[in-house]
Amino acid sequence: MLDFKKTASQLIAREVDSMTIQEIYDAFEVPKFTQMGDLAFPCFKFAKVQRKSPNIIAEEISKSIESNEIFEKITSEGGYVNFTISKAILAKEVLLNIESQKDFYGSSNIGAGKTAIVEFSSTNIAKPFHIGHIRSTMIGNSLYRIYKFMNYDTVGINHLGDYGTQFGKLIVAFKLWGDKETIENDPIPELLKLYVKFHEEAEKNPVLDEEARQWFTKLENNDTEAYELWKWIRDESLKEFNRVYTLLDVHFDSFAGESFYSDKMPAVLTELRESGVLVKDAGAEIVDLSEHNMPPALITKKDGSSLYITRDLAAAIYRKNHYNFYKNIYVVGAQQQLHFKQWFKIIEMMGHEWAKDCVHVEFGTVSLEEGSLSTRRGKIVFLEDVLNKAVEQTAKIIEEKNPNLENKEEVAKAVGVGAVVFQELSNNRIKDYTFSLEKTLSFEGETGPYVQYTHARACSVLKKANEYSLENINFDLLTDERSIEVIRILNKFPEITMLAAEKYEPSIVTRYTVNLAQEFNHFYHDNSIITDDAELTKARLLLVDAVRQTIKNGLYLIGLKAPEKM
């Protein structure tokens, strides 16, 4: 496909000798309004040297560029040289490019030969998979798909919270109040009851906390009873988690959790001690980070037991040695910002230059309308319950509006789950938000079901038309305002996917799919697709198919299905 920006850069380069073509290419902007053009080159940086206003410089450059069939208009305005791409050429290049690339439209080879690790979801064993977990799970799943789309060798890791003092607490609670058969019948709710009861009782009897610490130390020392109880709790929890992951269509390449690194920590502690990074402090071991304006990082407790940070250090070193990653991405809430800054800095202090390749992709919190989530107090909303309610409500809507729809259950699942996921990924990830089941299950406005329905509408048009030829399409028939606006948006998709990868921001893709769906529906409303004019029909069907394909690709990147019928 023609690189319009590159062509414009070459034209500018003939008039500007103080910048390389790449510098010119990178300087281009997209005008705020389409009537100003498709590409805009700013001339402000030349004003001081040439002692002229940017407006005059832009006007001189625009007038000196010879006419070009690719650009129907080259003008100047407000210190910019504006390029308007020939509408017929734009339509031809964009639509045939989408037709040839199909499921790969919008992808890139930028990641070829590079490994990107995306750690996400990372649920805690024996604790509920609640609505708060949807953030890491779906942001991470989308980034995993986006990086694969960019041709990275992508590794999705679920760093399970399957180690730590909480297991000591659960073991104590189980031995005091638990029943194995009851737990196996309903693992997570029953384990949650034990966890909540432990904290209630520990407030009255602090000795329980000490017993919990002792049991975790036994687990670290491979005590048989502690290990068998831990493994049983882990296995039962994973059965529950995998049911939710299946519903969300989320997959991992590794479930190596905190416990996986327990035998790798001694080597890391040795390295820390030998490098002089680790110092003793009242029987514990810490890393002093005061010169980096951070509090000290506790690495081992007085009893020698490890902490989260110890295991994160071991995990990062293992991943570098095992995967030789180019990027090591952690999709974890903003509350853990200090934790990640601390151990990233420790990795750097240990002499590992790849510390710069570790990225904390943080996100805001989720709260309930009546207050914050709290596992300790049992104040949660189970994610599986939310997803199932969404599917049930969707099924009712289908039964009312399209009772003869094929595969009703499959479509209800795709649309219901999609509504929840889309709502999660529709806002910037760093923003806090309050979860509302009513708002999430609304099927009006800028929602997942709206975009999915637009895809189904495009599929319906194409099915009605049956087959059509791509030969000898007259692209001049797609130069009207509605058609060309859709084509301009289609043309932005590769840029959108690249930007989403660079900023670790799935909402960029989510908002794009809404924008494309809205513009296509305007086009659909104003134009008959299948007409008495065979040439016009053929051209418009190609446009419809390009929209269908691009929406499908966009939905895939944010973890949604694209039903062909709704």
Q: Residue 199 burial by CB count (10 A; 0-12/13-18/19+): exposed, middle or buried?
A: middle
Residues ≥6 apart with Cβ < 8 Å to 269: 278, 285, 299, 300, 310
By the 8 A CB rule, do 430 and 334 touch?
A: yes
What would the two tokens of residue 501 be?
């990868």
* Residues with active-site annotation: 127, 130, 133
> Whole-angstrom Cα distance, residue 401 to residue 411?
13
Picking from 71, 8, 72, 92, the residue whose alpha carbon sits closest to that of residue 487 is: 92
Crossing angle for the helix pair 224-248 and 408-424, to the nearest 10 degrees: 110
> Measuring CA to CA, how many Å separate 459 from each of 463, 469, 486, 548?
6, 17, 17, 7
> Whole-angstrom Cα distance, residue 510 to residue 139?
11
> Whole-angstrom Cα distance, residue 3 to residue 425?
30
Backbone angles phi, psi at 177, to 5 degrees: -130, -5
Backbone angles phi, psi at 560, to 5 degrees: -110, 150
Q: Residue 274 burial by CB count (10 A; 0-12/13-18/19+): exposed, middle or buried?
A: exposed
Residue with tokens 């979860």: 435
Bridge partners (DSSP) listed for residue 158: none
What are the strands, taking DSSP E only, across 170-308?
A: 279-281, 284-287, 297-300
What would the two tokens of residue 78 be?
């407000």
Question: DSSP readout, 48-91?
Answer: HHHTS-HHHHHHHHHHHSPPBTTEEEEEEETTEEEEEE-HHHHH
> Whole-angstrom Cα distance, residue 381 to residue 133?
10
